[in-house]
Amino acid sequence: MYIFRVGVVGAGTMGAQIAQVVSYAGLPVVLTDVTMDRARHGMETVRRIYQARVERGKMTPEQAEEKMLLVSSGCDFRALQEVDLVIEAVSENLALKRQILHELDAGCAPGAMLVSNTSALSISALGAATSRPGKVLGLHFFNPAYAMPLVEVIPGLATDPETVNDIVGFAESIRKVPIVVKECAGFLVNRLLMSYLNEAVLCVQEDAASCKDIEQDMLAFGMPVGPFTLLDTVGLDISYDVAKILFEHYGPRMAPAALLAELVKNERFGAKNGHGFYEYEGPDTGTLQRLIEKVQHETGHRPMPWKPTRLLCAMVNEAVLALQEGVASARDIDLAMVAGIGFPKEKEGPLHYADSLGIDTVLAELETYAQTLGARFWPAAMLRRMVAAGFTGSAAGRGFFTY
């Protein structure tokens, strides 16, 4: 199915960014929200993105205006009656998204595809709110959508294969790298990323290392930003909501760090309100340290030696679990983590990194962490099978990949 016209529901940050991406690729797009004021605000966000490109010399003012002519706005679903694809980009609330998809199902053309930009919610549950579940799937953009190349394509249980193919083609047409991911809580990138970020918070909670030391070591490894800078940028409240979803589905190994919950309870949401792991408004008042000590008193803690492999092994183990479950191929897992979170290109992704480190070494590290830190580090069964078979990584010529 060729897509001639696109609708976006939700004119907030992500919705506006998605509208800009679609218009930049040359497709007309209708940006809608519940009021015209919100829709106009979204239009201004699109304009600011184009203006920034003009100021950087990436396009002329005339070219920016041509792209803006492809973007229109509206405050109800009547503006979406003639679109071929609707991208829902409202807040992460299952009931709200189901209601919107139900209304879109009634108001859009029978052949229109309805996709959600959700980062963690069930696509099957969203599809069930419509009479066309075969044409419903997830299309997860990463923030900022105009800069991040990756999109996750997530079919629900009832999604038609043709719909998947159409959306993969659409993603490629708007200059994105689509990775088809089997439906699961957190999908692929957020599932692996939260195992890494949550472990970083636990390290601080347990006095293994300071935020500064952990950030420096992960930057030295090659990550584009440190874990606490990333958490503050995404929003600690949003990260905590995702962590709770993962905990609900995967159990104790994904239990949110008590410190993360305490920070959210004290309305330290990150850069957006000026206070998170770092202070963005005024000097450090010592609040973070007091909250750390409060959580330590309530939970007890044993300071453990700090090594970057603690965070990396948590991510690698979750990647192997996702591979075991068939969420994505080894190639796509690594590609998604490089394109989605900036895992160092020279290390090629967590599974290539495990191969270079040695699968036997990874297994031994996980076993040590499981004994000292708990069952969340229990090694994926696939790792034991690989070591027993001699698939120990690049040095052996075979691991997750062949060398």
Residue 59's Cβ-count burial label (10 Å; 0-12, 13-18, 19+) is: middle
Angle 309-313-316 from CA coordinates, rounded to 5°: 140
Angle 50-52-53 from CA coordinates, rounded to 5°: 65
Q: What does the alpha-carbon distance between residue 28 and residue 91 come to, in Å, rounded to a whole number?
A: 24
Q: Is the dihedral of CA 58, 64, 70, 73 positive or negative?
A: positive
Is 140 an annotated catalytic residue?
yes
One of 140, 297, 301, 352 is an active-site residue; which one? 140
Which amino acid is present at 4?
Answer: F
Q: For 156-274, where are the E strands, in sequence order?
A: 177-180
Q: What does the alpha-carbon distance between residue 171 and residue 139 come to, in Å, rounded to a whole number?
A: 9
Strand partners, 388: none
Phi–psi pair at 270, nearest 5 degrees = 110, -155
Query: Would you call 361 helix, strand, or coil by DSSP?
Result: helix
Angle 164-165-168 from CA coordinates, rounded to 5°: 85
Q: What does the alpha-carbon distance between residue 95 and residue 164 come to, in Å, rounded to a whole number?
A: 24
Active site residues: 140
